[in-house]
Amino acid sequence: MSFSRPYTSNKGGEMKRNWMKGILYCILWYTSIFSGFISLLCPLLPLLFIRPCLYRRLTELVFAMWEMYPVVLMEVLFGTKIIVSGDEILPGESSLLVMNHRTRLDWNFLWGAMFYASRRPSHRLKFVLKAPIRHTPGPGWVMQMAGFLYIHRNWNYDQALLGRLLDYLRDIQHAYQVLIFPEGTDLTECSIKKSNAFADSHKLEHYKRVLHPKTTGFTYLTTKMRENDQLDAIYDLSVGYPGALPQSELDVMKGIFPEEVHFFVKRYSTETIPRNESELKDWLNSIWKQKEQRLSEFYTHRTFTPDDEKPGNYKGHFCTTNALYLALIFWTSLVMITLYSLCMYTAVQVWTLFHCVVFITLSFTSEGIQQLEVSWFRLKYKQHIKYSKHN
């Protein structure tokens, strides 16, 4: 199996155009996040202390609105097609999503899968991410406000953080979806060697298309969400790239975007999922074994559903919708308005500086504003929570 990027161009003009489009994509992607943070999310912060439940709903609404922007940018600038097949993702459920991690940029294309695979109203997806990401100016702060879950690779500590936030979402009766990459890292020659070494030590077979999954985080989240009565289903997502493959952020800047990104979605109702921890681990391993086979077939047929085997719920590729075009207009306009205001108005500069200082301080002195949100809610509604648990 080759990991070289299947993208070559001997034409200097084409490479220059791709660089220009890639840099434009990165600029619009970043400035849209920062503009949303300054102009839309920071004004919501007082609600965190006054009406925490409303704050949670509105911040996630803003984030869900933004998720459409990278999708339409990919489609307009690069002609990338997001092709989804399999089961529909039901946004009203509280669910756990597991997905193979083919490239560092999988999360960027996942927004398209969630947009095309979910019915409206929008989903409330949260990633499990490495803790240092929360320090990233702009994106890290927005993900804190959106309630993403950060971990430190110290399981005793991480378990307490995860449980605290999940209990909070239960207490405010808030439906949500959590995405984890059980493999822990993306697929590279180095990671496959490590995965195969693990397989040898545990007498398991070697994989080529996926890595052997880590089961600790998965079993904890499944068990905890089920205990909180907030696990309606587990969704298994398989992602495949039949053509060009951006492996890193530098590739995005170069304008190396896939012509197509394929997703296959399989829904497992909570009633069909084991309860015992060891059985849960075996269940996840069996899902990954199926995923290895599915992806092997995908790279043979270049589709998850060959024309003569399309199931009844096959979705396929959707044309760019009016909603995506509206997102393009809205967020691009917001970027221009925010940048103009930052250049022209002292009040906006002070507002921006103040909130940047607040989030830098919170990021380095605490676990982020999402944990402050939990602490404040428990302090403010302490008696109510105790009463609810007692009854």
Q: Which residues of 315-338 are buried (b: 16+ CB within 10 A; e: fewer)?
A: beeeeeeeebeebbeebbebbeeb
Residues with Cβ < 8 Å from 35, sequence gap 6 or more?
Answer: 331, 334, 335, 337, 338, 339
Q: Can you state the angle between helices 369-380 and 382-390, rounded to 10 degrees?
A: 70
H or E segment at 27?
Answer: helix 12-36
Complete DSSP assignment for 204-270: ----SSS-PPP-HHHHHHHHHHHHTT---EEEEEEEE-SS----SHHHHHTT---SEEEEEEEEEEG
- Whole-model pTM: value is 0.90
Short-list 24, 101, 70, CA closest to 255: 24
Q: How far apart are CA 175 and CA 231, in angstroms?
A: 9
For the beta sheet containing 149-151, the strands, ordered from the edge strand earlier in sequence to the opposite edge, are 149-151, 125-130, 177-180, 95-99, 233-240, 260-269, 81-86, 316-317
**Domain spans of the chain, in order of start:** 12-390
121 preceded by cis ω (within 30°)?
A: yes
**Per-residue tokens: 233:** 């289903």
> Mind listing the pLDDT tens digit of every residue in the chain (391 residues)?
544 455 444 567 888 888 999 999 999 999 999 999 999 999 999 999 999 999 999 999 999 999 999 999 999 999 999 999 999 998 889 999 999 999 999 999 999 999 998 876 567 899 999 899 999 999 999 999 999 999 998 999 999 999 999 999 999 999 999 999 999 999 999 999 999 999 999 889 999 999 999 999 999 999 999 999 999 999 999 999 998 899 888 999 999 999 999 999 999 999 999 999 999 999 999 999 999 999 999 999 899 976 555 554 556 555 668 889 999 999 999 999 999 999 999 999 999 999 999 999 998 999 999 999 999 998 887 655 554 554 4
